[in-house]
Amino acid sequence: MGYVERGKSLAQNIDDIFFSKNAKLSDEYDRLFSSAFTNPEEMKGIVEVLYTKNRGYTRAELLEKLKMTDGGTVSKHLNALIASDYITKYVPFGENKRVEYYKLTDAFCLFYLHFRNKIKSSKDHYWQKSLSAQEIVSWRGLAFEHLCFNHIPQIKKALGIGGVVSSESAWSKKADDEDGLQIDLLISRNDNVVNMCEIKYYSDDFSVDKDYYRTMLRRSETLSKLVPKKCAVYGTLITTFGLKENEYSGVFTNVVTLEELFDSF
């Protein structure tokens, strides 16, 4: 934050820090790994594979991608990355608890790897010129999703369930006889409630239309068939500003806003 200059817009500062010639943090990714680990290239290799899939990979999938054999060295590397908050280990909803996934969650690494080619080419004013470009629009949505995963305690606080034991993960169901579906975040709670969370980065209050309403109903119905009968499924919206009230907005039981993600405890 010390590199942010007062009087300049956010876009100008991002260009100065990352995308301009001699940008202050253009080489920070390599410096970061070299200063933190004795084997930086191996660590970067793991991180860069995990970057390629938002959900992450199982250990077996990761080893296959890395073309490595299983053993203590891999465990040591993964544990070091977890301890340093670069990656997270989790079990997706409804899957065998012995099948753990590894997911890249470090915000700086995610940003750098997404824009690495632009950073390395030192395109002056790239961010300022591309604010409405699809690459940056898509990035905002992904960044907001990662922000939510890194603020689970704040989300639970906003939902009034800070003291309830829960497990959290993204979840997807492959298409079979029914349509496949993907849920951004599931909070499976010990009080027999599952929060089915939709994460939406939006420049205004989010509005639910008829098609989206029906999509949410299908997702809720599908999920309800997979959880114990005593469990209730609550549609939950996590969005930038809030929810616009209309005839379809009742599909969401709870709403959490960006401001609440930064509430202190």
Q: For residue 19, give the amino acid letter.
A: F
The identity of residue 42, as a single letter, is E
Verify that 215 and 249 share a domain, yes or no.
yes
Query: Which residues fall within 8 angstroms of residue 183, CB to CB, at 6 or more apart?
Result: 170, 171, 172, 196, 197, 198, 219, 223
**Domain co-membership, 110 together with 174:** no
Q: Is 146 domain-assigned?
A: no
CATH number at residue 75: 1.10.10.10
Q: What's the pTM value of the predicted model, to 2 decimals?
A: 0.87
Residue 119's H or E segment, with its range, is helix 116-120
Residue 145 domain-assigned (yes or no): no
Are both 123 and 181 inside the same structural domain? no
| Tens of pLDDT, residues 171-212 | 877 655 455 678 999 999 999 999 999 999 999 999 999 999
Q: Are 187 and 165 in contact (CB under 8 A)?
A: no
Q: How many structural domains is the chain composed of?
A: 2
What pLDDT is recorded for position 175?
Answer: 56
- Per the model's pLDDT, the better-predicted residue between 177 and 230 turns out to be 230
pLDDT at 249 over 80: yes
Give me the residue label for tokens 């080619």: 117
Assess if residue 136 is contained within a domain. no
154 pLDDT higher than 60: yes
CATH number of the domain encompassing residue 213 = 3.40.1350
Query: Helix (H, G, I), strand (E, B), or coil: what is residue 53?
Result: coil
* Domain limit, last residue, from 131, 160, 183: 131
The verdict on 206 and 126 lying in the same domain is: no
Percent of the chain with pLDDT over 90: 77
Please state, as a whole number, how many other Cβ atoms lie within 10 Å of the Cβ of residue 220. 16
Confidence of residue 92 (pLDDT cuts 50, 70, 90): confident
- 218 contact partners, CB below 8 Å, separation of at least 6: 179, 181
Rounded to an integer, the average pLDDT of 72-90 is: 93
Pairing outcome for strands 57-58 and 254-257:
unpaired
Question: Residue 21 — pLDDT band, cuts 50, 70, 90?
Answer: confident
Residues 110 and 48 in one domain: yes
Range of the domain at 18: 10-131
Residue 206 DSSP symbol: B
**Does residue 144 fall inside a structural domain?**
no
Indicate whether 164 and 218 sit together in one domain: yes
| Alpha-carbon dihedral 23, 28, 29, 30, rounded to 10 degrees | 110
Q: Could you tell me if residue 5 is inside a domain?
A: no
pLDDT for 197 equals 97
- Residue 42 domain flag: yes
For 104-147, how does the pLDDT look when each residue is reduced to its tens digit (9 = 90+)? 999 999 999 999 989 888 778 899 999 999 989 999 999 999 99
One-letter amino acid for residue 4 of the chain: V
Among 81, 99, 131, identify where a domain stops.
131
Q: Is residue 75 part of a domain?
A: yes
Do 15 and 84 lie in a common domain? yes
Residue 176's pLDDT is: 53
Q: What is the pLDDT of residue 180?
A: 63
Based on the fold, state whether residues 26 and 127 are members of the same structural domain: yes
| C-alpha closest to that of 47 among 82, 13, 72 | 82
| Position 207 in a domain | yes
Mean pLDDT, rounded, of the chain: 91
CB 245 within 8 A of CB 205: no
pLDDT band at 94 (very low <50, low <70, confident <90, very high): confident
pLDDT confidence of residue 104: 95
Predicted pLDDT at 174: 65
Confidence (pLDDT) at 188: 94
